[in-house]
Amino acid sequence: MNGQQIRERIDANNKKIRTALNKFVLTDEINNLMRENEELRSICQHDFEDGFCKYCDIPVDFAEGFND
């Protein structure tokens, strides 16, 4: 393996590492956003239109299941 090949290999590895890190951050961010949505749904005074709450998008069946 010559210097150029090592350079390419390290660049490729770093790219994969950055991608993995970005995905991790993104996953974390998405988890936080989804958790926040669940919290918002739990405090929402649902108002259903066509089977979904017009404020928080929760399906009417799902919300009824929660209340049981």
Smallest distance, Å, CB 29 to Zn ion? 23
**Among the candidate windows 4-12, 19-27, 30-38, 40-48, which touches Zn ion by CB under 5 A?**
40-48
If the CB atoms of residues 37 and 44 are measured against Zn ion, the closer one turns out to be 44
Residue type at position 56:
C
Helix (H, G, I), strand (E, B) or coil at 5: helix
Q: Is 60 among the residues that bind Zn ion (CB under 5 A)?
A: no
Q: Is 48 among the residues that bind Zn ion (CB under 5 A)?
A: no
Which two structure tokens, joined as six digits, stand for 2?
């010559």
DSSP code, position 40: H
